[in-house]
Chain A
């Protein structure tokens, strides 16, 4: 399945946001997920099945002034 993650086209295994985060080995605590321009709270990650063409932003808070 083809999606866009952080501006890059990517082929991923179909599944939920939760599964995608897990497969990528990302630490959920530090992660902010935006799915098709909408922020998805962590408790909803397992409820959203990714679709062909979805656009995801995987973000985190960092130091800044």
Chain B
């Protein structure tokens, strides 16, 4: 397991748990959560300033050793996503970008078509693109060809905590994609994260389930353990299922047997 490194966009990560900075009751919890979870990649968002809001800089709460993954949330089409990505990079956030293009405000479903367009443009500009998408295999292959560094299919709607509702579609991506598959959105419990890793997902991205837990720091650790357990199980190759019982103890030499 020590040599089990995840490579995304040419960078190596020993943690397969990506986290987010949204919804924390206090930003000061973020570095504590990063320490407890061991997460090495974390998302941030870009917004217009709001004079009434706190002027704290979220980046001050993220240690330099953790890779920033700015997202393009708020973008409604490829052009807006591209613009946000360029601003984030120019502002010193590095080359990683999570493409998030959403027009549906009820379910926050990503617009796969616009996401593909943005990926094509940004990959050419040298961005390390992680597109957030509905799990659609032909689309994932197109994203791969367009130069995406990974694909990030959703398990369930953002913030819904419902788990891997799209499991069978994600499985197709895992089986057929050359780039890492990172399950993003919907993961509500450590067991969901473990299940995704058992399936062979390369990583998971968890925000709401950690940030809105009563103790986000402890929950960060719980997710870290679950991700490690699921990954280890995947590498250990799970035993087969059976429709009938298969005794674990020998079926011979019973004490009540007559000679």
Binding site for B on A (CB under 8 A): 6-7, 26-27, 29-32, 34, 37-39, 41, 57-65
**Contact at B48–A64, with CB atoms within 8 Å?**
no
B105 at the interface (CB under 8 A from A): no
**Contact at A58–B49, with CB atoms within 8 Å?**
yes
CB of B89 to closest CB in A, whole Å: 9
B44 at the interface (CB under 8 A from A): yes
CB of A40 to closest CB in B, whole Å: 9
A59-B47, A62-B47 given; name 4 further pairs at CB < 8 Å: A61-B59, A62-B21, A63-B44, A65-B158
**Contact at A65–B207, with CB atoms within 8 Å?**
yes
**Contact at B22–A64, with CB atoms within 8 Å?**
yes
- A26-B49, A57-B48, A58-B49 known; A65+B56 contact, CB < 8 A: no
Cα–Cα, bound, A35→B153 (Å): 35
CB of B45 to closest CB in A, whole Å: 3
Residues of A within 8 A of B24 (CB): 63
Residues of B within 8 A of A31 (CB): 49
**Contact at B71–A65, with CB atoms within 8 Å?**
yes
Which of the residues B30, B55, B211 comes within 8 Å of A30, measured between beta carbons? B55
**Contact at B57–A60, with CB atoms within 8 Å?**
yes
**Contact at B45–A62, with CB atoms within 8 Å?**
yes
